[in-house]
Structure formats: structure tokens, C-alpha cells
Chain A
């Protein structure tokens, strides 16, 4: 048995190390270490509750809007307020902008450069992949950055800027879109659709979104000149649809009133979401605590010398089960046929996770167009949301990377407790007190590793699109 430490594990958001025990060229067990502690939860205690809207987006530079949305949802819950239709649409549009941009930033900048490695030089697709996806210089990288920057003009119009906006409030949006701006939003969405349909999908979004099973997907990819099809062909060659299965459950808090909340196991039968089943275990984190606690009564207390610990990440569990969250979980819980077929055949995989993200891009952009159409300049975007002095509240949203929850309690006008469970906290959780490994830790077992092995471990780790800065909030 040899021990390998992969770190610094880059092209993820934030800091990550992965420790592998390897025998006969295969991973026997894995430990995922989040080596950076941010400590935002204690920093929020004692603050004015509305200050959370300034502080929590700064947990994360890549899912900042999702953090804002979760805090705003928790404060709206506390105030008992529902934003007016315009406010809801503006929030959906801002959140979906970040969500789609994150999916494609992951695809182009974080995930694909690994297939340019010399280990794959003898593969038929290698030269094409290097030409398009090499880090910082591939022919698709510049166009993606340009499309991304243009797409974020939506956030400029709707939220002032990205990341770190204060436009998202419990009562709606501080920014009321004007009639002229609404025309610009629609034009920006058409421009982004054009980028997607020319370079990413080389097809109509609606056509890609209608592909119903793995065989039609393979046939679609065979002659398609787009970037996604090139990935699908190399994924087929490497068998990436067969590797990377991890957790026993999938979890989604539901998004946009479009993708439902729920959880499902390997049989993909969906149960309604029950947040009462969520606890966080700290047995292997450098944090103090005896028993797993529900987030509404959770604590974050540093215990840096704890012997059994190996990470700053807590271990959330759902009804005792390890859960995977993200685009794949959202789409499975929505009953999306293509992903049901992919996961039904081989379980969760690198390919399924990438397809789920791109499918979400193809499904959401047309909905964004309808949201922008539905904005009614002149009607209210924000309602007053006076906060009570005392109370408890929950804000649940889906970030690009999965389920994000904020649990808040307020006493005498000040934050008394603030607990956050971020998507990658689920996916990259350490072992719990029963010794059961987290989702990634399970997904790595059995993969080739060590001297001369292909970078399969890299693909599986990055297939989750980890956000480590959120993980260790």
C-alpha cells in the first residue's frame, strides 16, 4: 500500500488536497482534505440580520449570487414576505446567469484542460482537444471568455455587478429594470444563445434538450462539430460513463419553480424533501462537537488539534445517508429522461455529471428568455420586508453546484446563530462517526492511480465541479 497526496489540486474554486491509499495500481481508500478554513458562520454572530446580505456573498466568488439568494430567502422567511413577480423574475434571471456561466466556466476552464495531458497523446481526439481546450490558449477558450463576459452584462443590468451584489433583498430586487433595459436583456440572451448554438452544441438548444437516451446522445455526438460533442466522443473512448459513482442518494432543494425539491436513491424513485433529515457530523473535521447536529442548532467551533480529523469540512448526512448534490441530482429528481437512462445504465458518472450541466444550460436559457419577456417595467420590483427582532428562518436554494442552505436565528435584533451547508460540503464531505466516507471519497475507490496511471482521478474529482471556498465557508 502506498500513500499518494494530490495537492495543491488546482482548477477547482479554492483549495483542495486528496490523499489516496493505492495498492496494485488501484485506489483502495481516499481522504478529501479541505485545507483552508474561512469561519464565516462565527463572523456573522452579533451582526444586524440584514448585514448577512453583504457578508454571505463574499463566502464565494463563483457562486456569490446563490449565497445572496439563500440569505435573502432566509430573511424573507423571517419577515414573512414574498417578493413581487418582477422581483422574483429578476432574481431568477440573475441566479440563472451565474448558474449557466459557472457550468461553462467549469467545462472550458477547469475540466477540459486535463484531456490535453501528454498521457493521451496517442488518442485520435488528442490533437483536436489540445487545439480547442488547452489551458489559456485553446481556440475555444478566448471565445468562451468573451461570451461569458458579455453574458454577465445581464448581471450588470439586473444586479449592478457580479460577483458580490446587494441587489438581492428579501423583498425583491433593488434594481427595477426599465423598458429600455428589458430590450437589452433580451438581446443579450439572444447573443448568448447564438454562442451556445454555434460553438457549444452546434445545434438548437431545444433539439439537444430533447435527446432522450444514451444511444441518441451517442448518435448526436458522432457527426457534430461542437465542443460538447467532441467531449462526448472522447468520453466514450475513455469509458467515462462508467466511472465516478459515489453516494447512495441524490439531493436537490429545488430551483426556479422549475426543478423540484426531493431526494432519490439508486432506483431513482423520488421522495419529497425533508430538511428534518439533515444533520452535520464533525467527527473528522478540525471542529469541536460530540454528536451530529441539525443545522438549526449547529455550531462551528475550531478544534485544530483533534487527532482523528483531516479536513476543515463537516460531514452533512441526509437521513443518515451520504448524498450527492448538483446539476445531475437536480435533473434526476426532475425525472429528466436522458440522465435517467445514463445513470440507470451505469450509475452516476463523469459523463452524466457533465451532460447534466450542459443539459441544464440548454434547458434554462429558453426559460431565461421567457422570464425576461415577462418583466413588467413600471410594476414593483421590491416590497418592504421589516424584520422581527426575534425568530428563526431557513433559506434553501440551488447553486450551480447543488443544494445550498442557510439556517438563521435572530435574537434582540442580532444574529444569534448562522449555519450554512454548501453543495461541496455534501459532495466532498469527510467520513462520519460511523466511518462512512463522503461522496467523492467513495467515487475514487477502485480508480487507477500512481506511477503511470491515466489522470482518471483528476477527471472524477473535477466532474463534481467542487467549490472549496463555499465548502469551508
Chain B
């Protein structure tokens, strides 16, 4: 399976993250699954004219490829000219339109590519940025809501900022081995293999969440939802069951999930690291739980919080250990 990769209005971090793939080195992993890069801007030997020849051949149909991976927002400005990003003198948006028409599958790598990035979420959208098939959460984007790739699917949105290497490798391998169908994607076109979970699942702070024992300041061990802006109960991704960089996740790193797989995460309407509240109750509650239940449950669990959990929640290390019972009682 041949993959053509281009970058545009993004940071290149999804490629840098992809190179962290484990346990096998990325290129060995892909090669043995029958996946190869036709060209990748950061990784291929061809430069300048040789690279341009590859891109032109792919664009005019004389060189076959299967998957078009785009990393970075589509920049249509200034004034619709596409001049904020040109490749060989032509707006990258033109290249993408042409290549997408030839591709059997189109993948948006990262949230910028899927939804449009920071500019698209800033008043006035100064870069006139958009996603491949979304303007933030509205279908549309560069390719339009009606776009379908050769496989009949819309753009596959590997959203995340950055993407986990496993999300990309597993989606490519799913496609190479079994094919990909609409049933493999959620309502926003994200692969269910990582988007059917919530970041909350497997969160190492779950005991603090259960008792609403909340962190009050950075580096506290407690739950980050009540005060520090955590959206793990609303964000679709498997970050706490699929480890980042061996042993990590945002929550394990001590900071809030900012829901970077969700459209619009860049402009939450409040400071990222603070939880907006109404009458003392966080406004961003779990998506599928009636508010009254949550409030009742929170009040009950707060009243039942063990001292150990309450005290540890506001420290950066365990000050009260779980008690040890002797004699198996």
C-alpha cells in the first residue's frame, strides 16, 4: 500500500510523534505490513526537482498511490489566494485538491488537518484556515461535505494534537490488512479503534474522580476536572489505555486533558487550565450523564471521601498510604 504524505499549516508534530512508534522501528513495522511512503517531506530522500516529479506524477495520475495523508491545516488566505503556503509556486490547497481526486483513501493527520487548527478557531480566522472536510465542527472544509475518496469514504479524521503514533500505524494497518469501512469510523470520521473510548477510561486519577477529591493547584495528585480544566470525561481517545511515550498521558503528566481530538478544542471559551463553573458546578460535565444525577452523586461521594484520598488530592506525592491489613482480614 503506497502512502503519499504532505504537510501544510501545522507543526510537523504528528510526524515527530509517529517516529516514536514502538516497539518496532516505524519503517520496519510499516514495511513488513506492506506499507511504503511514495514520498514524505521529512523522511524521503528525494528533494527539489526529484520530489516535484513524484508529486506531479501522482497528481496527473501517471504514478499510482493509495493513501493521501495530509498533516496541517489548509490555508486559503490571504484573500482566498492560498499564498500563505505555496509549494513550487502553487498554493498547497491546489495540490491537495488535485491529489485527493486521485487517492483511494484520504487521511487527515492531526486536529489541524481535520478541523482547521488555531486560526480557524480565532475570531476572523486570519489565515482563512480550514480542515480537509470540516470547518471546525461543520462539514465542508477544503474538499467539501460531499467529497468521497476512491474507496467511497469521506476523509478519515485522525484527530489529535498531536496524534498518537499507534492511531496512525493501526489505522494504516487496518486498511492494509482488512480494509476500512464507514462502520470503522465515528460521527466525525475518526477511527473507532481509538475514538470509541474516552480519555477518562483508565485515568490514573480515577479514585480521586470517584470521590470528587480535586486538585487545587498544578502538581496536585487529585482529579483535575473540578478546578484545572480537565475534559477527559468528554474527549474521545484512548490516551489512558494506550500509553504515550512508554508510560505517559496528559493526566499522568499532571495536567488537564484539553480534548485535543475534538473539533473546536482550540477555543474552549475559557482559560485552558481552569474549569468554568456555574453556581460552583463545572459546566462541562460528562456528556451522557444527566446533570442532576452528577450533582447528587458528587455531593454523596464528597461526603464519603476517605481522609487518605482527600489529603493526597492536594499534595504532589502520597502523604497517606492505603492502610495495610494484617492477617488477611
Contact = CB atoms under 8 A, between A and B. Distances in A.
Contacts of B218: 169, 171-172, 174, 382
A39 B119 contact: yes
Contact of B251 (A12, A159, A160, A382): A160
A366 interface: no
B17 A156 contact: no
Contacts of B244: 156, 160-162
Given A105-B19, A161-B253, A384-B217, A50 B11 contact: no
Given A8-B87, A10-B44, A458-B47, A156 B243 contact: yes
B256 to A, nearest CB: 7
Given A160-B250, A167-B255, A469-B12, A61 B162 contact: yes
A198 B23 CA distance: 20
Contacts of B22: 146, 149-150
B106 to A, nearest CB: 20
Contacts, number: 249
B147 interface: no
Interface stretch (B58-66, B75-83, B189-197): B75-83
A113 B20 contact: no
Interface string B247-260: 11111111110101
A3 interface: no
Interface stretch (A268-276, A327-335, A373-381, A437-445): A373-381
Interface stretch (B35-43, B169-177, B178-186, B297-305): B35-43
Interface string B1-35: 00000011111111111011111111110010000
A26 to B, nearest CB: 18
A360 interface: no
A149 B21 contact: yes
Interface stretch (A134-142, A316-324, A393-401): A134-142
Interface residues of A, number: 84
Given A135-B45, A163-B162, A40 B85 contact: no
B161 interface: yes
Contacts of A158: 253
B126 to A, nearest CB: 6
A382 B47 contact: no
Given A15-B85, A165-B253, A153 B11 contact: no
Contacts of A61: 10-17, 162
A49 B124 CA distance: 20
A338 B75 CA distance: 45
B20 A162 contact: yes
B127 A157 contact: no
Contacts of B7: 14-15
Interface residues of B, number: 75
Contacts of B266: 55
Interface string A72-107: 000000000000000000000000000000000100
Interface string B268-282: 000111000000000
B78 A176 contact: no
Contacts of A297: none
A116 B273 contact: no
Nearest to A144: B25
Given A37-B127, A43-B119, A143 B48 contact: no
B246 A152 contact: yes
Nearest to A470: B11
A11 B44 contact: yes
A164 B162 contact: yes
A54 B26 CA distance: 28
A263 interface: no
A377 B266 CA distance: 34
Interface of B: 7-17, 19-28, 31, 37, 41-48, 51-52, 75, 78-79, 81, 83-88, 118-119, 122, 126-127, 161-162, 217-219, 243-256, 258, 260, 266, 271-273, 316-317
30 contacts: A6-B48, A8-B87, A10-B42, A10-B51, A11-B41, A39-B84, A42-B126, A43-B118, A48-B271, A50-B271, A50-B272, A53-B272, A54-B272, A61-B12, A62-B13, A64-B13, A105-B19, A114-B45, A134-B45, A142-B27, A145-B26, A149-B25, A160-B255, A163-B162, A166-B250, A166-B273, A175-B255, A178-B317, A304-B78, A377-B317
